[in-house]
Chains A and B, each alone.
Chain A
Amino acid sequence: MPSWFTPLAALCALMFATAPILIAQAPYESTMGLVQKIFYVHLPSAWMFLLAAITCGIASLRYLFRGDPRQDRLAWAAAELAVLFGVLTLVTGPLWARKAWGVWWQWDVRLTSSLMGWMVAVAYLLLRRYGGPGSDKLAAGLALFGIVNVPFVYISVNYWRTIHPTTNVVPTLPTSFGVPLWFSAVTFLLLFVLLLRMRVRLEEQRARVDALYLSMDS
């Protein structure tokens, strides 16, 4: 692991320990009350989900055009993180919605497009796991659908009728809400970077094992 990994992991752990204190001190929101505090993990999870889909898409595009195996490993690692953070988003969202909207799920454009993005990431992993030879290129093509979906997920709430909060919420947040949100977002971003590095390292080591087996056979 690189030299920056351990200090960054320590900082991330410290921030994860501090975040609940800031979130507990944040005020209650007037219409949603206590349940709005799910926002501080739901939104950073959703951002990391979209970031993972973007990373996977860009790395896949570079892999398709340049054939660099490092980009392929990065795309695979990012796809796994897209599934992880997608699950966090899709579980915490309904827990919030149950109280705020009175229902667990709405087939509205934001929720549906997020679910589609998550299913693309799951399909990517399944393809890599069970697709056999050539699945790397096929999965890279699939990842392009994932990245194309990202702007649609983000702006959809501003163009379609939905009860999901719009993208105007974050820029207009009072400081009392904004500080815990951005603190939580930076914490999740650090975690994302650390997990991505760990997951890429895993693929690097697997590639070395494969290379050793090949050299033993020849």
Chain B
Amino acid sequence: MKLLSLVLVVLVTCGAGGVVLLAQQPPPQQLDEFVPIDQLPPQDQLPAAPLLVAAYSFVALALFAYVVSVARRLASVQRELERLEADMKRGSGT
């Protein structure tokens, strides 16, 4: 009876192990190269377009916002610098 139980446990363990091994998915394939095709498959056209538009719009808006931000900060500091220089000239003139 003990021997039968032992055999049963071993069989169940091996079976479970086998199931786990079979259930494991192969690792995802890494891309090593890009391969061009002539035509985009129709099912790819619509879902990808909003993502593409979002990516390019975000890049354009972020770069534009940053350029405007730096230009405004630069103009502000420039005004302060001119005001200070004018104050100093007035101070040294009196």
Taking each of B30, B38, B39, which has the highest tally of chain A beta carbons within 10 Å of its own beta carbon?
B30
Q: Which of A5-42 contact B (CB under 8 A)?
A: 20, 27-31, 33-38, 41-42
- Distance of A118 Cα from B53 Cα, bound (Å): 24
- Distance of A166 Cα from B71 Cα, bound (Å): 38
Residue among A34, A45, A177, A212 making CB contact with B40, cutoff 8 Å: A34
B51 within 8 A of A: yes
A95 within 8 A of B: yes
- Distance of A33 Cα from B40 Cα, bound (Å): 6
Distance in Å from the Cβ of A44 to the closest Cβ of chain B?
10
Chain B residues near A165: list those with CB within 8 A. Answer: 30-32
Distance in Å from the Cβ of B8 to the closest Cβ of chain A?
37
What string of 1s and 0s marks CB contacts (under 8 Å) between A58-71 and chain B? Answer: 00000000000000
- Distance of A91 Cα from B37 Cα, bound (Å): 27
A96 within 8 A of B: yes
Check B37–A28 contact: CB distance below 8 A. yes
Distance in Å from the Cβ of A213 to the closest Cβ of chain B?
7
Check A37–B27 contact: CB distance below 8 A. no
Q: Which residues of A does B touch, CB under 8 Å?
A: 20, 27-31, 33-38, 41-42, 45, 84, 87-88, 91-92, 95-96, 98-99, 157, 161-166, 168-169, 172-174, 176-177, 191, 195, 198-199, 201-202, 205-206, 208-209, 212-213, 215-216
Query: Contact residue range for chain B?
Result: 35 or more
Residue among B29, B38, B41, B59 making CB contact with A33, cutoff 8 Å: B41
Known A99-B48, A198-B71: A172·B35 in contact at CB below 8 Å: no
Check B31–A169 contact: CB distance below 8 A. yes
Check B81–A29 contact: CB distance below 8 A. no
User: What 13 new A-B contacts, CB under 8 Å, besides A166-B31, A212-B88, A215-B88?
Assistant: A29-B34, A34-B52, A38-B56, A88-B62, A95-B51, A169-B31, A169-B33, A174-B34, A191-B63, A198-B70, A202-B70, A202-B73, A208-B81
Distance in Å from the Cβ of B32 to the closest Cβ of chain A?
5
- Distance of A216 Cα from B63 Cα, bound (Å): 38
Chain A residues near B84: list those with CB within 8 A. Answer: 209, 212-213, 216
Chain B residue with minimal CB distance to A77?
Answer: B70
Chain A residues near B5: list those with CB within 8 A. Answer: none
Q: Which of B42-94 contact A (CB under 8 A)?
A: 44-45, 47-49, 51-52, 54-56, 58-59, 62-63, 66-67, 70-71, 73-74, 77-78, 80-81, 84-85, 87-88, 91
